Structure 1
């Protein structure tokens, strides 16, 4: 595996650090416990940026477990020598960076072009006013595939306000189904950072992650919608007037931006007005990469080696599938509707600005996993967990859950847990489908009980005008329902896969 920085056949060479005082497995387990404790301390109390905290803890764990400076950093004399840090960082980012970057740009084009509004408006008309909460849930589920959770809230919140004002009911009835859809896709489906990072660390084909994400995520979101309907009828929260005003200002700014694009089109196209985005186009752009990836996965199972299978596998590779979807979005949502190449470039470049932090945290998680493995700490953890007697999928869920509740970041919980889980699955000859279910368990644990140490908690509270107490009653419990239901499905399916 790419996390390995030493020859697995070589005997453990480390006798320094804490191991000189606490020998053997006990010393390695002590290092692991202290390392995780230090990570939580730095993030929770010191408020250190997770990227810096993960790197610092990786170095501390490596040195305490007896790794030499050469093993961690390589040597200055040998320019071709690859250090453990470079191996961990480069191995995971080589898999994740392209997928996250392409997915982010795709989501930005859908957002700015008005695809979200077209989708939600059509669903609201289709379902009718009585089933408007369900329409919001489906909107979040579909639009959440290509966009980040916080972007989804920003874009779709004004639609929630309008639906809640029109229906005259609690805003919870409308925003909670939407949030459940956005949260499910963010946790369980590529191209979002969590499942993509875990797939890279555990070497799982993204097609299996997509398939198992749908298998586990759809029942989970149905359970969450059930809770949203229940709490929405029992807890009334009015539409926040201040956020409605802010949303109207934001929509006015977006409208001005689109008017500029329309004016540019009118000059270039002889005065033709920009038409609304067709719903079929939005669904085609979102569905194309998922369909191609799934076809490639199934072809590798069902078809013998052939030219046709090679073609499907080529177009179904995540890099190719997402690139094709992005080019479709550029043409169908941009150029064909009058956008200039400069406008497309501006939107794409702006969308990548928040991605840097995510990629650095994911990369630092790869370093942490490499150090755990190279130092022997991961093997000691594996032995200890095997003695506990719980299945790997249960341990993965519990580890992610504890890390999530303790420090708040779902991404940190996923990459840290995946680094610990890697040695637990080595030598077990688990199928790709089963490994994808382990990733689902990690992802489910990473969204449990969003509370005051999670930025998403405050975003939900402030955007929808919900008090902290009511946010705990509604949003925090909703996330827990989504988490437990998703894990329950993953655990059940793992019994037959």
Structure 2
């Protein structure tokens, strides 16, 4: 439904600019919660842009509900899987197993790889907190600056959270831009792994030599077995890998069969193809993985504890899901008002490539208000009409644009970012040291991912 009543491009562009500025003021200066701010700005933007009064609420609800339909299932199932792995000691098993395989000399690399695997179903904050006592135990065992061990883990969770479904940011951006989730999963992993190696692991080794950071005082009070009250024995290394790789393999199955169908190798109308592709759809793949977790861990945890843990895992993500849905609401208003089309026309006149514009806009929003999720979803909403109006984009191009937006939403973490303070306080770093280390690493991660995505968009 196009409810636009005002067609003057200048009016629409000024309205869009004013909406973004108002969002920044509400969130940063007036400390209004992002969920409330996005709803309020959506209403005002719709009214000022000229959407008919009787259409404002339907447009908002449509954008909100459409985004939640794509995001809520994936995030909820992913969090349940992550929680069950957390309390069963899966993270500890994963870290110990990889250290034994890579060797003690490559302990930071092993910790980072463990975090990459564990970061598939679990959020940045939760993953870092779960791995924190483990990486500090490793740091105490092998010595050296804690940066060498903490930053490969933190960087791994950061890239997985920003670039790889089923995390809410990339899922919401994919939904808003029309990118294929399965292909985005593959693309996100292909870009996230070298980005982590260059921007987190190698930088951590360099920064660890330049900044010798001792073990924090809180380490004395940390019990690295945070899960002992729920089970008698941790799962095996193979079991943890099975759980983490199951959804990836299932989702890749859907993508692979789609590729074979498009290329004419198989007949896509056959029943077995439809069944296997359905099993590989992201919500079904995560549901199957969760059922696998329940089958593996219910006996050791107990039915009541499993039910409680699944319920507890959902509480922390409600705010993220609502903010993401509100970002979709804002996007719905932008689409229906014609602001996106006006911005698309402006960018086409300047000749700025879509992928570059996506990165620049996302970076500006990230620096202004701090939240990567808000920057990512808002930029995706702004870019959706531009992407739709750009001819010749392939399915891969849509994924590269999502990565560019996520890269801009990652760079320049500073005082208005909760991740900045989480890392600072966990490692007992002062603000200057955090800016010299964490902020630089986040900027490297976002920039490297954007560069890789940009180069791939040229090649493919």
Q: TM-score, normalised by structure 2?
A: 0.96
Q: Deviations over 1:295-352 (max 9, x none)?
A: 10121121331233212211101111000000001111x12x4332211110000000
Aligned to 2:19: 35
- CA distance in structure 2 between the partners assigned to 1:467 and 1:132 by the alignment: 26
Of 234, 252, 258 in structure 2, the residue corresponding to residue 276 of structure 1 is 234
Of 95, 98, 114 in structure 2, the residue corresponding to residue 123 of structure 1 is 98
1:297 aligns with 2:297: no
Q: Deviations over 1:204-250 (max 9, x none)?
A: 22111111101211111111111111111111010012x213422xx
Of 200, 207, 215 in structure 2, the residue corresponding to residue 231 of structure 1 is 207
- CA distance in structure 2 between the partners assigned to 1:6 and 1:66 by the alignment: 11
1:153 aligns with 2:128: yes
Of 404, 417, 427 in structure 2, the residue corresponding to residue 441 of structure 1 is 404
SS for the counterpart of 1:450 is: coil
Aligned to 1:170: 145
Aligned to 2:451: 488
- CA distance in structure 1 between the partners assigned to 2:436 and 2:108 by the alignment: 19
- CA distance in structure 1 between the partners assigned to 2:417 and 2:341 by the alignment: 31
Report how far residue 190 of structure 1 moved.
1.0
Aligned to 2:10: 26
Q: Quickly say closer, same or farther: Cα 1:115–1:252, change in 2 above 3 A.
A: closer
Decide which moves more: 319-328 or 382-391. 382-391
Aligned to 2:28: 44
Aligned to 1:86: 61
Q: TM-score, normalised by structure 1?
A: 0.89
- CA distance in structure 1 between the partners assigned to 2:113 and 2:190 by the alignment: 16
Q: Quickly say closer, same or farther: Cα 1:252–1:482, change in 2 above 3 A.
A: closer
User: How is 1:59-138 mapped onto 2 (pairs within 5 angstroms)?
Assistant: 59-73=43-57, 83-138=58-113
Aligned to 1:287: 245
Report how far residue 429 of structure 1 moved.
4.5
Aligned to 1:267: none
Task: Kindly indicate whether the alpha-carbon contact (under 8 Å) linking 1:144 and 1:181 is maintained by their aligned counterparts in 2.
Answer: yes
Task: Kindly indicate whether the alpha-carbon contact (under 8 Å) linking 1:216 and 1:487 is maintained by their aligned counterparts in 2.
Answer: no
Aligned to 2:41: 57
Aligned to 2:295: 331
Structure 1 unaligned residues grouped into runs of 5+: 16-23, 74-82, 262-273
Aligned to 1:307: 271
Q: Aligned residue pairs: how many?
A: 452
- CA distance in structure 2 between the partners assigned to 1:247 and 1:205 by the alignment: 42
Structure 1 vs Structure 2 CA RMSD: 1.4
Report how far residue 254 of structure 1 moved.
3.3
Report how far residue 62 of structure 1 moved.
1.1
Aligned to 1:352: 314
Aligned to 1:266: none
Report how far residue 463 of structure 1 moved.
0.7
Report how far residue 355 of structure 1 moved.
1.3
- CA distance in structure 1 between the partners assigned to 2:355 and 2:325 by the alignment: 23
Task: Kindly indicate whether the alpha-carbon contact (under 8 Å) linking 2:366 and 2:372 is maintained by their aligned counterparts in 1.
Answer: yes
Structure 2 unaligned residues grouped into runs of 5+: 262-266
Aligned to 2:158: 183
- CA distance in structure 1 between the partners assigned to 2:18 and 2:301 by the alignment: 54
Report how far residue 170 of structure 1 moved.
0.5
Aligned to 1:20: none
- CA distance in structure 1 between the partners assigned to 2:143 and 2:66 by the alignment: 52
Aligned to 1:318: 282
Report how far residue 477 of structure 1 moved.
0.4
Aligned to 2:5: 13
- CA distance in structure 2 between the partners assigned to 1:489 and 1:338 by the alignment: 44
Aligned to 2:264: none
